[in-house]
Amino acid sequence: MATHYYTVTWDQLHRDARALAWRLMERGPFAGIVAVTRGGLIPAAIIARELECRLVESASVVTYDEEHRGVPSVTKPPTAAGDGTGFLVIDDLVDTGATARVLRTLLPKAYFACIYAKPAGRETVDTFITEVSQDTWILFPWDTEPQFIAPLARRTAP
């Protein structure tokens, strides 16, 4: 269970994905992008637009069930990417690096990038934008919804 939570808004995610694209420009051009589902889909779409990359493949590696980590399982391999030559792999977050390690065996020549990185997985990606502590659970905008909260003055004191 996470000790800390870090909420990412749509605006912040978009800014961070564009910052990652900016950093990746000097590495390109790329033949294609592999979006790691599900979290990497939206960042990959933003980065594909910014880098003017039209070929977007996906790879699905199931590692989590809510906040519980399991054994990584490839449910959809990135077939169009071959061995990864000229491809960019995009994910939202690297946590322990388990997903990246699995994908590196499938795409040994790809360049790996993510928006957010935790210390235990940082070494498994080639670049990232923001580091968070290992005990932080990132709440992405697709995992949350805005809701009304009563003003403090209306709440009953404990």
- Which residue type sits at 108? P
| 91 is a catalytic site residue | yes
pLDDT (average), residues 60-69: 74
Active-site choice (91, 126, 135, 143): 91
- pLDDT exceeding 70 applies to what percent of the chain? 94
For residue 87, count CB atoms less than 10 angstroms from its CB and return exposed for 0-12, middle for 13-18, buried for 19 or more: buried
Q: How confident is the model at residue 68 (pLDDT cuts 50, 70, 90)?
A: low
- pLDDT for residue 107 is more than 80: yes
pLDDT of residue 155: 74
- CA distance linking residue 46 with residue 15, whole number of Å: 10
| 92 is a catalytic site residue | yes
User: 14-55: per-residue pLDDT in tens?
Assistant: 999 999 999 999 998 999 999 999 999 999 999 999 999 999
- Which residue type sits at 45? A
From the list 127, 132, 131, the residue with the least C-alpha distance to 113 is: 127
- CA distance linking residue 56 with residue 65, whole number of Å: 26
Higher pLDDT, 150 or 46: 46
pLDDT (average), residues 102-116: 97
Higher pLDDT, 30 or 3: 30
Crossing angle of the two packed helices 10-24 and 41-50, in degrees rounded to 10: 50
Counted domains in the chain: 1
Q: How confident is the model at residue 65 (pLDDT cuts 50, 70, 90)?
A: low
Angle at 48 between CA 137 and CA 62, to 5 degrees: 40
Q: Which CATH number fits the domain that encloses residue 40?
A: 3.40.50.2020
Q: Are strands 56-65 and 68-76 parallel, antiparallel or unpaired?
A: antiparallel
Is the distance from CB of 20 to CB of 13 less than 8 angstroms? no
Q: How confident is the model at residue 2 (pLDDT cuts 50, 70, 90)?
A: low
Domain that holds residue 117: 4-154
Is the distance from CB of 132 to CB of 138 less than 8 angstroms? yes
Is the distance from CB of 114 to CB of 95 less than 8 angstroms? no
From the list 48, 58, 128, the residue with the least C-alpha distance to 95 is: 128
Active-site choice (11, 92, 135, 143): 92
pLDDT of residue 67: 59
Q: How far, rounded to the nearest angstrom, does the alpha carbon of residue 61 sit from its chain's CA centroid? A: 12
